[in-house]
Amino acid sequence: MGFPEQQQQAPGTQSQMVPRPDCGEDSYRGSGKLTGKVAVITGADSGIGRAVAIAFAREGADVLLSYLDEHDDAQEVADLVRADGRRAVLVPGDLSDPAHCRAVIDRAITEFGRVDVLVSNAAYQMTHESLDEITDEEFDYTFRTNVGAYFTLVKAAVPHMPRGSSIIGSSSVNSDMPSPTLAPYAATKSAIANLSASLAQLLGPKGIRVNSVAPGPIWTPLIPSTMPPKKVAHFGDDTPLGRAGQPAELAAAYVLLAGDDGSYISGARLAVTGGRPIL
């Protein structure tokens, strides 16, 4: 099906994408699955994080929206959350800094008193055709943003998570089918899946469930801001379903893992890949 060739500066903004991703703004209908819960969602300004925030709010949750610096996109999400009668707290900043990760959780506790659901979704990636193009600094930043932040957020949140709480990491089909041009990113996504499985065993006795979602090719700002225009134009064409997914198509997976319908699901990795297999 394809998309128009386009390019943005990283990390990209949803408002500049053509077409704009469908994050469920007009389609998601809630049924009270998360009524009264408090959720912290990173990367919540756009893409998958935005879709999860919209869905969680429409299922009855208050949300803290963590994002880097895409203020206009984040404000749109906050407005949507508040339009559904739920509270939205905006916290910008760089999650590659452990101190900021801890500040995100501190803000959630100040505003809401607890954390029922933690969704670690924010990520960095960049396309490289040669290993020589990947600097030491970029490799380190990718791991600090994608994996280090997940670890620090969980460590800070767990003391404030009651029994029945849920932690969800965003892994990727790249964890099992790594793209050679996304080597650092793919490695972090494998680490997220592995860390989630370890945390499920560590935190199970506390009554905290931990899972990960493994998206396939999803139309988000990461794509035009980290891939060359010709790859953007054919993004997702090689999946068995023949197209990229929309962020809205991920929302139900996160709702399942966050709520009581998933009360016996822990240590799992849920694939939403358009037919690409994961092991």
| 67 labelled catalytic | no
Q: Which residues contact 149 (CB under 8 A, 6 or more apart)?
A: 42, 95, 96, 98, 101, 120, 122
Residue 68 to residue 9: CA distance in whole angstroms: 14
Contact between 186 and 138 under an 8 Å Cβ cutoff? The reply is no
User: Measured on CA atoms in the order 44, 49, 50, 52, is the torsion positive or negative?
Assistant: negative
Catalytic one among 28, 150, 185, 254?
A: 185
Structure tokens that stand for 206 in this block: 């506390």
Q: Which helix (H) or strand (E) holds 63?
A: strand 62-67
Q: Which helix (H) or strand (E) holds 222?
A: helix 222-226
Which residues are marked as active site? 185
